[in-house]
Amino acid sequence: MDMKLSHHEDVRLFPSLGHGIWTVVLLLALAGAPFVLRGYQINNINNIAIAVIVAIGLNLLVGYTGQISLGHAAFLAIGAYACVLFIAEWHLPFFAALLLAGLVSGALGFSRRPAGAADGRTVSHDRHPRLRPRDAADSRKAGVHRRPHGPAHRTRAHRSVDP
């Protein structure tokens, strides 16, 4: 296992100078690809780039946070549909259409209400009995009598005596 010994090693973008150089070479090759390759090959590169964007987003959600993604595919579909519309109807270049489709999908994601809020309001602590902290009056109504605990509330017989 590769252990990081310092914070600088942990937050470094590239583990070595070689990784950084090869990344720059790859980015330059991708930037020059439209001038050298044909349309079919560029289409394949675009599809691969879209799949990589989806995989990175899913990895951030599932891998780092441990959450299950229920809306990931839906927002991918919304973005794909918007991208096709921007290209076919408005005759925008691919990268401009991709950027706008991401903005459309993000705007739809932000416009949705939180889950469980059927009337548009979120569940607050004062309305929900399980989420509200109990006070002494609620405990007496429920028949629960709390005993104080901790070292300050123990009797002399319960305290430990040092020899």
pLDDT band at 141 (very low <50, low <70, confident <90, very high): low
pTM of the model: 0.49
Mean of pLDDT values over 73-92: 93
- Is the model's pLDDT at 76 over the cut of 50? yes
- Residue 60 binned pLDDT confidence (cut-offs 50, 70, 90): confident
Please tell me the predicted confidence (pLDDT) of residue 58. Answer: 86
Smallest CA-to-CA distance from 85 within 73, 93, 97 is with: 97
pLDDT at 93 > cutoff 60: yes
Q: What are the extents of the domains in the chain? A: 15-67, 70-113
